[in-house]
Structure 1
Amino acid sequence: MIHHLRRGVAIWALCAGSALAQQTDISIGMVLEPPNLDPTSGAAAAIDEVVYANVFEGLTRFGPDGAILPALAESWTVSEDGATYTFTLRAGVTFHDGSAMTAEDVVFTLDRARAEGSTNAQPGLFANIVSVDAPDDLTVVVTLDGPDGAFPFDMAWGDAVIVAPESAETNATNPVGTGPFRFANWAQGDRVDLVRNDAYWGDPVALEAVTFRFITDPNAAFAAMMAGDVDAFPNFPATETLAQFEADPRFSVIVGSTEGETILAMNNGAGPLDDIRIRQAITHAINRQDIIDGAMFGYGTPIGTHFAPHHPDYVDLTGQSAFDPDTARALLAEAAPGGLTLRLALPPPAYARRGGEIIAAQLREVGIETEITNMEWADWLERVFRGRDFDLTIISHTEPMDIGIYAREDYYFQYARPEFVALNDELARTTAPEARSALLAEMQQMIAADYVNGYLFQLAKTGVANASIEGLWENSPTQANDLTGVRWTQ
């Protein structure tokens, strides 16, 4: 008997009563193609979605529940003053090119990330490092400028994965890591292929081959899933079709939460948005629930600051920027009596394109016109994120616990209020949980009171997969498609 499966693959049962061979390859759908494949030199979430935990690993890593787990470091200790971390590395780890991973590679990675001129997108993760030393091949000693209870958390980010000096400069197009999958091919505009790393130091993975396919259009994503051209779409863009998948026994629908604060980002460093009255007017013109319903078909949790609602330290500040068009009009009459037209730059994700049209209509109701530009991802990164050439944009910040970006002077929305920077610095030096919670609450309240951005909703994780697949993450504690525990059940 022949069973015809996706892409025309046939699996034979050799005799009556024999079981079909278990499938060992998988095709994963993604909305955005990464601009490169080096998580240590790029800000795009799509990079980590391909390589985090699959190709590259750090000293620590995020588990599916957000816990910080050992990775290349099997353990670590902290000095009494909280300022020195000693990591014990796993023995026998090799990079995909066969070279040994040692403490010297960790020293190279951390020194490179914190060096002047570093292209790392998250320099704050390394800013408090004073020195990194390697007493022997399996020991790394990191000395900080003060106590930092969050340092193992920081080292779990994709931006902190360990790379080798021999391959660091070419990781963007030919990534060489230590993970359970090796890079095989990148057909730009179409897919990235990975294969199993049979020399992996850890537990072997079930999958032998992985293909990440890039499908931006929601209708095309729906068609690809229905046709079996992709086996799973962990961040499915066509949420309006989820009911169809739920009713079809061939599929499972996986709904969870993400770290993605979806915001209407504003350029605080240039007029007219350097005027808090205009930023406040914009926030009061926005009806969050209309955006969640219209752009996300009801999936999403309203937020009033840059913090995940599922985090225990979240402060609900949605009332401070509640939908109030009359207040918005009054503020605009005072701040911009001659009217206002703003540029609205929209990257490819459906939440941005659909949400942008809704927000443009809401702003028009209070007297703000918008000039919408739909941008490809690479152009958005260059012009908006790096070039800061924008007025408004819509983006989900999917990095975990990333409120510290508001302390960065070079960050694209250009806030960095000195009092906020001081709070962020104090947070880095604070280890007591109660004191950290108080600081985080004050930081949330400050950026909400300054109306730095329009805080819209926490991005839901809505995934669709073949019902025979297990092990995909339900929630997204970081921006990743971790396939280390994924397998076919039949």
Structure 2
Amino acid sequence: MTLIFRIAAILAALPFLAAPALAAKDTLTMGMTLEPPHLDPTATAAAATDEVVYANVFEGLTRIDAAGAVQPALAASWDVTEDGTVYTFHLREGVSFHDGTQFDAEDVVFSFERAMAEGSVNAQKQIFEPIEAVEALDPRTVKVTLRRPTGSFLFDLGWGDAVIVAPESADANRSAPVGTGPFRFERRVAGDRVELTRFEDYWGEAPALARATFKFIPDSAAAAAALLAGDIDAFANLPAPELVPQFEADPRFTVEIGVTEGETILAMNNAREPFSNLKVRQAISHALNRDAIIQADFDYGTPIGSHFSPVHPAYVDLTGTYPHDVEKAKALLREAGYAEGFEATLKLPPPNYARRAGEIIQQQLAQVGITVEIVPVEWAQWLEQVFKGADYDMTVIAHTEPMDIGIYARDDYYFGYDSAEFDGVMEELSAEADEGRRHELMAEAQRILAEDAVNGFLYQLPKIGVWNAAVEGLWRNTPIQANDLTEVRWRE
């Protein structure tokens, strides 16, 4: 019997022994923690949607690369007038959508006007706010006139919210997305996965992968087990930082610890008492111990004191604005009229970083007399209740959009923050083209948010990438919400 088993084992191993002579593998299964609510990046704030479709299924006039730089995409080039108010985009030839319809200037006009419309559901409508007019000069040329110079305009057009869609398919993109990217949508199995296949008529360089599957695994233990078993090939952001040493010691895997654009915050509803009281927000900021919260994520986060990425050259270290000080927090609560503290709810979405931080924050606020009830919510509930409805006291979330400090200037944003001083700085920043002055304004905006204690600024979310050691081309950092597969391949 032992001999039979030995022979069976040898036979079973033969395909693997012969593998080096075979063609390189051309499929990839990528693990993700959160499942997208739908697949239209122009109609949701959910990062998970962009992480599946950005640069893979959908493309914009520009795109953001792995280094965070603006690159041409559907626009091969562009001209800008000296005053920075008129952009003329020269579109690529021979581009088609996945359903066979041809891409031209009218699709750009349609996409921009759709996003700018009064009833638009685009989560980043501010990208399009500077636009006064968009015109198709001919099938390959689009003229965009701005109300004022906007220094970040080309970068903003590289967001997932600004991808180009076709009027023939736009209404169905939530369930059956049709773009111009190197991969076409194959199918979605709700609660499990999204499958993409290579688009054979892609205008650019064909991707090495013939098929890609995004597998949704919300449980961190299950995610790690799937990697170890080979059921998935990669997890671009592993939700189990405690297992990093195990994967680093395993030669079958590559581990890359990078950075994201994810400012992780204790968001407070500034429009609701008692969080409308500056002294209460300051007290909460003093009560928070960032180091303890980061330790719960196994020290893979970078402390922040405002809503800004530490890797940006305009970053200002404001972590000392409200140092951890329990007695100072209690004194501020007394001054605010809450000597006995108060009760509040903390709605926590599914990501592990939010749930782990939430439990520690509950304990830290209890030390200053604030009784916190933790309310776990699913992702769809969080989007509906917190992000859209502003029906919350506090929540923990990582805002992963690039350079998104401007969200604090929005009148209807879920923070409920209102500051004429901050709005003025952002208005000047929007019109400023000089990089040095832009950095000065970004620094001033950071200071205002920190001093106003708008939210509890915790840490910059790390990117813990773990994938099969034979896989190349995945991003180490996340300058934009994306799992860009265009350059991913298996080593032969």
Category of TM-score, reference length = shorter chain = over 0.9
The one-letter code of the counterpart of 1:378 is: A
The one-letter code of the counterpart of 1:391 is: D
Query: Could you give the per-residue CA deviations for residues 88-124 of structure 1, whole angstroms, max 9, x where no partner exists?
Result: 0000000000000000000000111111011000011
Which region of structure 1 is more displaced relative to structure 2, 407-416 or 478-487? 407-416
1:312 aligns with 2:313: yes
- SS of the aligned residue for 2:143 comes to strand
Q: Partners of 2:18 and 2:183 in 1: how far apart?
A: 35
RMSD of aligned residue pairs (Cα, Å) = 1.7
Q: Partners of 2:360 and 2:73 in 1: how far apart?
A: 43
Superposition pairs of residues 456-471 of structure 1, within 5 angstroms:
456-471=458-473
- SS of the aligned residue for 2:475 comes to coil
Superposition pairs of residues 334-483 of structure 1, within 5 angstroms:
334-335=335-336, 336-483=338-485
Q: Partners of 1:465 and 1:195 in 2: how far apart?
A: 20
Superposition pairs of residues 186-205 of structure 1, within 5 angstroms:
186-205=188-207
* Corresponding position of 2:110: 108
Determine if contact 1:12/1:20 at 8 Å carries over to the other structure.
no
* Corresponding position of 1:79: 81
- SS of the aligned residue for 2:187 comes to strand
How far 1:326 moved relative to its partner?
Answer: 1.1
* Corresponding position of 1:331: 332
Superposition pairs of residues 247-326 of structure 1, within 5 angstroms:
247-294=249-296, 296-326=297-327
The one-letter code of the counterpart of 1:283 is: S
Which region of structure 1 is more displaced relative to structure 2, 433-442 or 272-281? 433-442
How far 1:370 moved relative to its partner?
Answer: 0.4
Determine if contact 1:284/1:321 at 8 Å carries over to the other structure.
yes
Residues 106, 341 of structure 1: CA spacing in aligned structure 2 closer, same or farther, 3 A cutoff? same
1:118 aligns with 2:138: no
TM-score by length of 2: 0.96
- SS of the aligned residue for 2:136 comes to strand
The one-letter code of the counterpart of 2:328 is: T
- SS of the aligned residue for 1:437 comes to helix
Q: Partners of 1:65 and 1:203 in 2: how far apart?
A: 20
- In structure 2, list runs of 5 or more residues that go unmatched: 1-6
1:128 aligns with 2:118: no
How far 1:437 moved relative to its partner?
Answer: 1.1
Q: Partners of 2:273 and 2:50 in 1: how far apart?
A: 34
Q: Partners of 2:63 and 2:19 in 1: how far apart?
A: 43
Q: Partners of 2:314 and 2:169 in 1: how far apart?
A: 40
Misfit runs of 4+, over 6 Å: 15-18
How far 1:16 moved relative to its partner?
Answer: 7.2
Q: Partners of 1:80 and 1:408 in 2: how far apart?
A: 29
Determine if contact 1:11/1:21 at 8 Å carries over to the other structure.
no
Determine if contact 2:254/2:466 at 8 Å carries over to the other structure.
yes
Aligned length: 483
Q: Partners of 1:17 and 1:162 in 2: how far apart?
A: 41
Q: Partners of 1:17 and 1:339 in 2: how far apart?
A: 66
* Corresponding position of 2:70: 68
- SS of the aligned residue for 2:133 comes to strand
- SS of the aligned residue for 2:21 comes to coil
Determine if contact 2:341/2:368 at 8 Å carries over to the other structure.
no
Determine if contact 1:3/1:11 at 8 Å carries over to the other structure.
no
Determine if contact 2:97/2:178 at 8 Å carries over to the other structure.
yes
Determine if contact 2:340/2:369 at 8 Å carries over to the other structure.
no
- Say which of 10, 13, 35 aligns to 2:37: 35
Q: Partners of 2:467 and 2:360 in 1: how far apart?
A: 30
Q: Partners of 2:425 and 2:291 in 1: how far apart?
A: 31
Residues 18, 25 of structure 1: CA spacing in aligned structure 2 closer, same or farther, 3 A cutoff? closer
Residues 11, 88 of structure 1: CA spacing in aligned structure 2 closer, same or farther, 3 A cutoff? farther
- SS of the aligned residue for 2:453 comes to coil
* Corresponding position of 2:56: 54
Determine if contact 1:11/1:20 at 8 Å carries over to the other structure.
no
* Corresponding position of 1:240: 242
The one-letter code of the counterpart of 2:307 is: H
Q: Partners of 1:131 and 1:277 in 2: how far apart?
A: 44
* Corresponding position of 2:4: none
Identity of aligned residues (%): 59
Determine if contact 2:330/2:339 at 8 Å carries over to the other structure.
no
- SS of the aligned residue for 2:265 comes to strand
The one-letter code of the counterpart of 1:315 is: V
Superposition pairs of residues 132-151 of structure 1, within 5 angstroms:
132-151=134-153
How far 1:17 moved relative to its partner?
Answer: 9.6
Determine if contact 2:349/2:376 at 8 Å carries over to the other structure.
yes
How far 1:486 moved relative to its partner?
Answer: 0.3
Query: Could you give the per-residue CA deviations for residues 233-265 of structure 1, whole angstroms, max 9, x where no partner exists?
Result: 001000000000000011110111110000000
1:90 aligns with 2:92: yes
Residues 381, 16 of structure 1: CA spacing in aligned structure 2 closer, same or farther, 3 A cutoff? closer
Query: Could you give the per-residue CA deviations for residues 312-355 of structure 1, whole angstroms, max 9, x where no partner exists?
Result: 00011000021111110111122212321111000000100011
The one-letter code of the counterpart of 2:352 is: A
Residues 11, 94 of structure 1: CA spacing in aligned structure 2 closer, same or farther, 3 A cutoff? farther
The one-letter code of the counterpart of 1:309 is: P
Determine if contact 2:77/2:91 at 8 Å carries over to the other structure.
yes
Determine if contact 1:256/1:461 at 8 Å carries over to the other structure.
yes
- SS of the aligned residue for 1:198 comes to coil
- SS of the aligned residue for 1:289 comes to helix
Residues 484, 17 of structure 1: CA spacing in aligned structure 2 closer, same or farther, 3 A cutoff? closer
How far 1:422 moved relative to its partner?
Answer: 1.7
How far 1:10 moved relative to its partner?
Answer: 9.8
TM-score by length of 1: 0.96
Q: Partners of 2:18 and 2:175 in 1: how far apart?
A: 47
Superposition pairs of residues 176-191 of structure 1, within 5 angstroms:
176-191=178-193
* Corresponding position of 1:231: 233
Q: Partners of 2:180 and 2:113 in 1: how far apart?
A: 19
How far 1:146 moved relative to its partner?
Answer: 1.0
Q: Partners of 2:103 and 2:422 in 1: how far apart?
A: 39
Q: Partners of 1:17 and 1:309 in 2: how far apart?
A: 44
Residues 485, 338 of structure 1: CA spacing in aligned structure 2 closer, same or farther, 3 A cutoff? same
